[in-house]
Amino acid sequence: MRREQEEATQRLERETESFSTEPLKMDYRTLAALPSSAIQRVNRDNSSESPVVGNSGTREFCSSPTSQ
């Protein structure tokens, strides 16, 4: 049992060393092949926005006025 734990620890260390934390690099064909549900959409400035439920039951965002 001890030997199995040591082997598992060594295997984990090797896998950790070979693991890259760099972002994935995908070309436009790969990105186009992804389903739209897999693409994450992020609001750029969501810190000043708060979700509000409208009459239709959908979420709307009210943001503070900004000068343009």
Contacts of 33 (CB under 8 A, 6+ apart): none
**Overall pTM > 0.75:** no
Of the pLDDT bands very low, low, confident and very high (cuts 50, 70, 90), residue 29 is confident
> Which single residue is written with the structure tokens 């070309």?
27
Q: Which long-range contacts (C-beta less than 8 Å, at least 24 apart) are formed by 11-20?
A: none
pLDDT digits (tens, 9 = 90+) for 39-52: 565 555 555 555 55
